[in-house]
Amino acid sequence: MQERVFNFNPGPSTLPLEVLQQAQSELLNYKGIGISILEMSHRAPEFEEIVAEAEKLFKELAGVGDDYRVLFLQGGASQQFALVPLNFLAADKTADYVITGSFAEKALKEAQKIGKVNVVATTAAEKHKRIPKQEELNLNKDAAYVHITTNNTIYGTQWHYIPETNGVPLIADMSSDILSRPLDYSKFDLVYAGAQKNLGPSGVVVVMIHKRMLERVKEGLPNIFSYEILAKNNSLYNTPPTFGIYMLKLVLEWLKKFGGLPAIAKHNEAKATLLYDVIDEDDFYRGHAEPAHRSYMNVTFRLPNDELEKTFLQEAEKEGIFGIKGHRSVGGIRASVYNAMSLAGCEKLAAFMRDFKKRNG
C-alpha cells in the first residue's frame, strides 16, 4: 500500500494525521532534551507536565471545573467494569445497570461478582436497536450508582439524552463517544473511556471522577485498584503508559484547535449523515439502529445477503476503505467514524455504497 487508506476500524482506530506527524517529528529527541519520550522517566518534570496538561485540557474540553479529577490509567475500559463496583458497591448496597449492548452486559457481569446489582432496563429482546426512554428505567433511589453505556459500539446506538437519576451518582462507559459532542459532563459523577477510539492509542484509559466520589471509595482496597490512591498520586502511583498519555495529550490539543466539542459534533454529524442518507434511500441497505437512536460514531447496517456483504467488503478494501466488517456478534457492516475520521473518508464510503447498490441492487 503506497498511501494511507481511510481507516474505519472500531478501535484501535484512525488518529489525526497531524498528531502522528508531530509524534514522529518529536520521537527521537523530545523538546531538545536529547532522549525520546519513550525513554523518559515518568517522574521527569517534562512528563509530569504532560500529565498535568492532559488533565487540564480534558477538563477544559469537557467543560468541568476543579471539582473533578481526570486520571490516566491502564487495563482498558474492561478494568473499569471491575473497578467501579470494587470502589463504590458496598455490601449493604445495590447498583443499577442499563443494558444497551455487549459492553454494558460485560460491565454488569463484573459487578455481579462484586455485589448486588439490578438490571433497571434492557433492550436485549430487541437486539439492542434502541436506547430505553427515561420512563422505562426502573431506577432505585437508594442505589450506590447508575451505570450506562453512552454509545454502543457494536450495535451502533447512542444515548441522545442524559438520564435523570435524582441524586444517585451517574457513571458512564463513554469509550466510543467521549469528547465527540457537547454534553453536560457535570451530570456525571464518573466517566471512563478506553483511549483507543476517540482519544489516542490503546493502553490508556481515561477516568473523569467527581471529588465527592473519591471520598466514597471503599476501605481496604489494594492500592492499584483505589481511585482515591490513583488520584492522590496524579496518575503516577506506578509507571503509567507514558507514550500513550503523551499521544492523548496531542489528540486533546488537536481537538481544541479543531474548535472543541461544538465543532467536532458538527463534523461528526455531517459524516454519519452522509452514510445514513444512503441507507435511507431504499431497502438495499438496512440500518440496525432505529433512526432516532442512531450513533454518530458507529454506523451499522446489513446488505440483502451474506454473499453481497462479502463482496462489498472485498471491493471496499480495494478502494482504500478499511476496517468496515461488522462485529462477529451482529455481522454485517460497521463504519466507525470517530472524531479523527475525515469528511473525505465518509464521502468516499457513501459514493462507494451508492455505486455498489447500482451494480448489485
**Three-class SS of 191-235:** EEEECCCCCCCCCCEEEEEEHHHHCCCCCCCCHHHCHHHHHHCCC
195 vs 209, beta carbon nearer ligand PLP: 195
Q: What is the distance of C-alpha 296 from the center of its chain?
A: 12
**CB under 6 A: which stretch of 71-79, 85-93, 227-235, 267-275 binds ligand PLP?**
71-79
Q: Which residue in 96, 110, 173, 309 binds ligand PLP (CB under 6 A)? A: 173
* Residues of span 133-152 touching ligand PLP by CB under 6 A: 149
Secondary structure (DSSP) of 94-162: EEEEEE-SHHHHHHHHHHHHHSEEEEEEE-GGGTT-S---GGG----TT-S-EEEESEETTTTEE--SP
**Three-class SS of 290-322:** CHHHECCCEEEEECCCHHHHHHHHHHHHHCCEE
Q: Are 334 and 156 in contact (CB under 8 A)?
A: yes
Confirm or reject binding of residue 189 to ligand PLP (CB under 6 A). Answer: no
Q: How far is the CB of 119 from ligand PLP (least distance, A)?
A: 17
Which residue's Cβ has the minimum distance to ligand PLP?
76
* Residues of span 150-169 touching ligand PLP by CB under 6 A: 153
Q: Number of residues interacting with ligand PLP: please give it, by CB under 6 A.
A: 11
Burial class of residue 20, CB neighbours in 10 A (0-12, 13-18, 19+):
middle
Q: Residue holding cell 482496597?
A: 221
Q: Which residue in 16, 76, 287, 326 binds ligand PLP (CB under 6 A)? A: 76
102 vs 165, beta carbon nearer ligand PLP: 102
Could you give the CA distance from residue 35 to residue 30 in angstroms, rounded to a whole number?
6
The DSSP element (H or E) to which 190 belongs, if any, is: strand 190-194
174 vs 346, beta carbon nearer ligand PLP: 174
Confirm or reject binding of residue 77 to ligand PLP (CB under 6 A). Answer: yes
**CB under 6 A: which stretch of 24-32, 36-44, 173-181, 206-214 binds ligand PLP?**
173-181
Q: Are 337 and 268 in contact (CB under 8 A)?
A: yes
Is 287 strand, coil or helix? Answer: strand
Confirm or reject binding of residue 203 to ligand PLP (CB under 6 A). Answer: no
Draw the binding track, 7-46, toward ligand PLP (x: CB under 6 A; -: no contact): ----x-----------------------------------
Draw the binding track, 253-282, toward ligand PLP (x: CB under 6 A; -: no contact): ------------------------------
Task: Give me the count of residues in the chain.
Answer: 361
Confirm or reject binding of residue 200 to ligand PLP (CB under 6 A). Answer: no
Interface with ligand PLP (CB under 6 A): 11, 76-78, 103, 149, 153, 173, 175-176, 194
